[in-house]
Chain A
Amino acid sequence: MTEEEKPPFWGSWARVYAGVAVYLALLILLFDWFTRSWNR
């Protein structure tokens, strides 16, 4: 068991984690758009 284990995609865990953070930001923007569009 080593720290060097690579993820199966995107080359490094740092990139995978960054991808998750970007996903969260996009999701919040999407929900905010949804709220602004419909919740009046």
Chain B
Amino acid sequence: MRPLDWAVLAASLAGIVFYGMWRSRGSRTTSQYLLAGKTMPWYAMALSIMATQASAITFISTTGQSYVDGMRFVQMYFGLPLAMVLISAFAVPRFHNAGVYTAYEYLEKRFDGKTRALASIIFLLSRGLAVGVALSAPAVVLTVMLGWPSHWTTLVMGVLVVAYTAGGGIAAVTWTEFVQMLVMTAGLLAALLTVILLLPSEVSFPDALAVAGAAGRLNAVVWRFNPNDQYNIWSGLIGGMFLALAYFGCDQSQVQRYLTGRSITQSRLGLLFNGIAKIPMQFFILFTGAMVFVFYVYTQPPLIFQPQAMAALEQLPEAPQVRADYDAAFAMRREAARRLDFEAFRAAQKRVDEVRRRALALAGEATGQGRINDTNYIFLWFVIHHIPAGVVGLIMAAIFAAAMSTISAEINSLATVSMVDIYRRFLRRNAEDRHYLAASRWLTVFWGAYAIVTALYAQNLGSLVEAVNRLGSLFYGTLLGVFVLAFFVPQARGTSAFWAMLFGEAVVLAVWQFTGIAFLWLNVLGCLCVVAFGFAAGLLASRGRAG
């Protein structure tokens, strides 16, 4: 990075933190600290919700995914607008009218204390496992690409986030996310415009689209159903809707956003705006990746984008041959693209893919890492090597903003659930509000410190990090199921809901362990199991009582 980039990055980060702290000054009650005194307008909630969802690794790897696999990932978001409608219609008024701080507090009002405790613990476990990964993943990538010491990257991001989150609570989180989302959008647009401008002058925009399309990179809609593939319209609409229902209906990091709304209308508008804006935003992120692919059709990219893996490959005796094969395949593909001869282009693309697969396998053996995936490094490689000074700083600021927004939302929601659903409910009831405010701040610092320590440790865990991250998504269906029971099954009682959650979770874990079903469908399965079990058990219990 050049001095101008550092200046842009530093100014963006400082601006974000100071703006958040300024907007959240004067949080003197628990309600102000955890719910912003229910004063948030819809536009702040909407951008805050979008920023929470966009983590740094999503920002970096989504573009890379489009580079290697095309745009079909966008279908994952097709269920989101439907989920936003259902949450707006059914969850928002219930949560607002119940006057709760957390979604799980509602479960005690509807069921009992043990159901609330179980749901809170499931949330704390799954989010607690993920928060360190959210902090460490971008640090690892930035370290590899830029040579920054990873511990310092983690510490700088972590300490900044803890400072404004512990200081200003949810208001600071929401307002910083509002600005972070604007920075992310600016970074994204800058990247997209730059890559299009960097295409060779003889390549028109329609030609670029034709080349990307010929390589299968513009496959935004896939109609063919396959239960083991999550990127088709059916799993996107149904599985994606269930995932979004679970995330926005039961995950405190999202529920807390719309509980800060000054009215039901404001909360609904925030959610619906998110449902409307998210798909086009993902489309443009993926489209940027597809255009980076086109750029590298005319400009030779490295054989492997991850520098360490490439260095390992260079040490092998096979390296000169692999490089020669790659150079030949690349030249063939570039010529075919220049002639717009798409049959020859596709054949050359196949050859490029084969050589890259061979190179990645060799590098994997050389480093002892097994299968290497360099998808997360593609976009950053492009940014660092081809984008002009100043714009690089803006894109880095966008990546930092994406990381910080996700982490701040997570530690804030973890602290809220720990305070409201565990500490105030089970450990210290009936204390003064001042005491709970202080406890909330200390719990935020605790979860922030936990995230930093886990992130520092997680960097040595390798593939376990990925496993833990996936594990988090195994709990969503069960949580969604218990809220569906609470809202729509009047026969369900506390005990039946509690056992239904345990049953649903056991089924999800068994299916995940023993089948290859795409993870989006696990949310559907978990939800249906909990609802079916809870409904049947509630019915039996009510008959027993009547008999």
CB within 8 Å of B: which residues of A? 1, 3, 5-8, 13, 16-17, 20-21, 23-24, 27-28, 31-32, 34-35, 37-40
- On chain B, the residues within 8 Å of A17 by CB distance are 85, 88-89
Distance of A35 Cα from B71 Cα, bound (Å) = 9
B283 at the interface (CB under 8 A from A): yes
Given contacts A1-B264, A20-B81, A27-B279, 6 further A-B contacts (CB under 8 A): A8-B269, A13-B89, A21-B82, A28-B221, A32-B221, A40-B213
| A23 CA to B263 CA, complexed, in Å | 25
With both chains docked as a complex, state the minimum distance between the C-beta of B15 and any C-beta of chain A, in angstroms.
31
Chain B interface size range: 35 or more
Cβ contacts A to B, 20 pairs, < 8 Å: A3-B93, A5-B264, A5-B265, A6-B265, A13-B268, A17-B85, A17-B89, A20-B275, A20-B276, A23-B276, A28-B78, A28-B233, A34-B221, A35-B219, A35-B220, A37-B213, A38-B210, A38-B213, A39-B216, A39-B219
B181 contacts chain A at the CB level, 8 A cutoff: no
Q: Is the CB of A40 within 8 A of B82?
A: no
C-alpha gap A27/B75 in the complex (Å): 11
Among residues of A, the one whose C-beta sits closest to the C-beta of B275 is A20
CB distance from A33 to the nearest CB of B (A): 9
**Which residues on B are within 8 Å of A, measured CB to CB?**
70, 74, 78, 81-82, 84-85, 88-89, 93, 96-97, 209-210, 212-214, 216-221, 233, 263-265, 268-269, 272, 275-276, 279-280, 283, 342
Q: Assuming A1-B264, A17-B88, A31-B283, is B81 touching A38 (CB within 8 A)?
A: no
Which residues of chain B are within 8 angstroms of A16 by Cβ–Cβ distance?
272
Give chain B nearest CB distance to A9 CB in angstroms.
10
Q: How far is the CA of A12 from the CA of B153 in the complex (A)?
A: 49
Query: In the complex the two chains form, is A5's CB within 8 Å of B209's CB?
Result: no
* Structural contact, B218 and A39, CB atoms closer than 8 A: yes
Nearest 3 A-B pairs (CB), nearest first?
Answer: A38-B213, A31-B220, A39-B218
Q: Looking across the interface, which residue of chain B has its beta carbon closest to that of A16? A: B272
Question: Do A13 and B88 touch across chains, with their CB atoms under 8 A apart?
Answer: yes
Interchain CB contact under 8 A, A21 and B81? yes
The residues of A that contact B263 with a CB separation of less than 8 Å are 1, 5
Distance, CA A25 to CA B97, complexed state (A): 32
A39: chain B residues at CB < 8 Å are: 70, 213, 216-220
Inter-subunit contact A31/B272 (CB<8 Å):
no
Bound form: Cα–Cα A19–B431 in Å: 47
Residues A1 and B81 in contact in the complex (CB < 8 Å), given A8-B265, A17-B88, A20-B276: no
Contact partners of A5 in chain B: CB under 8 A: 263-265
**B264 and chain A: residue at smallest CB distance:** A5
User: Among the listed A7, A20, A23, A38, which residue makes an inter-chain contact with B209, where contact means beta carbons less than 8 Å apart?
Assistant: A38
What's the minimum C-beta distance from A36 to chain B, rounded to whole angstroms? 8
CA gap between A38 and B212 in the complex, in Å: 8
Q: Could you tell me the distance between the alpha carbons of A27 and B220 in the complex, rounded to whole angstroms?
A: 11
Nearest-neighbor residue (CB-CB) of A30 within chain B: B220
In the bound complex, residues from chain B placing their C-beta under 8 Å from that of A37 are 213
Q: With A and B bound together, what is the CA distance between A6 and B264 in angstroms?
A: 10
Q: Which residues of A contact B218 (CB under 8 A)?
A: 34-35, 38-39
Complex Cα–Cα for A23 and B212 (A)? 27
Report B-chain residues with C-beta under 8 Å of the C-beta of A20. Answer: 81, 84-85, 272, 275-276
Bound CA span A35–B544, Å: 57
Interface-central residue, B213, B216, B233, by most chain A CB under 10 Å = B213
Residues in chain A near residue B279, CB distance under 8 A: 24, 27
Look across to chain A and name the residue whose beta carbon is closest to the beta carbon of B210: A38
Contacts of B78 in A (CB 8 A): 24, 28
Min Cβ gap A39→B in Å is: 4
